[in-house]
Amino acid sequence: MISRCRFVRTDGTRCKITNALSEDGRCLHHDPARADRVQAIRSAGGKARARQQRRVVDSDLTPGPLETIADCARWAAWGAVSVSTGVLDWKTAQQVSNAINQVRQSVKGQHEEELEGLRAAVADLRARLESRDAA
């Protein structure tokens, strides 16, 4: 009979792994003495996977400059399609989204400053018209 890991799950069934058992009959994942090794393997696997999944897009395929609110909308739509079709990985898309939001906030601030200046100019013109009409 083939030896299996002696770890018992919460539902009462035993682990089904039969290879790389320790002297006390535990698999790599259920052996507390090898927990550091398991963590190192997981970390190395995660780093390798992260490197494999990142994708760079040729600048000719991007939607152009990112300077206006309209540009932000165009980039956001492009990003959504690019992630859903696999052109961009989620991590790169997250960075693109952050850049879109930064540009949007910057442009919004500029627009608010311009709007405040226009409101002041309108108020000044109204005051002049009222003083002219009163005279």
Structure confidence by residue, pLDDT tens digits, 43-92: 876 666 666 566 677 778 888 898 999 999 999 999 888 888 888 888 88
CB-based contacts of 4, cutoff 8 Å, min separation 6: 14, 15, 16, 17, 18, 21
Phi and psi, residue 107, nearest 5°: -65, -40
Give mean pLDDT, residues 93-110: 91
Looking at residue 70, its pLDDT comes to 92
CB-based contacts of 33, cutoff 8 Å, min separation 6: 22
The single residue listed with the structure tokens 């961009």 is 88
Taking the C-alpha atoms of residue 59 and residue 81, their distance in angstroms, rounded to an integer, is: 16
Partners of residue 14 on adjacent β-strands: 8
Looking at residue 99, its pLDDT comes to 93
pLDDT tens digit string along 8-54?
Answer: 999 999 999 988 899 989 988 899 998 888 888 878 766 666 665 66
3-state secondary structure of 64: coil
* Reported pTM: 0.50
CB atoms within 10 A of CB 78: 19
Give mean pLDDT, residues 116-129: 94
CB-based contacts of 64, cutoff 8 Å, min separation 6: 71, 74
Looking at residue 53, its pLDDT comes to 61
Looking at residue 51, its pLDDT comes to 60
Whether pLDDT at 126 is above 90: yes
Looking at residue 135, its pLDDT comes to 73
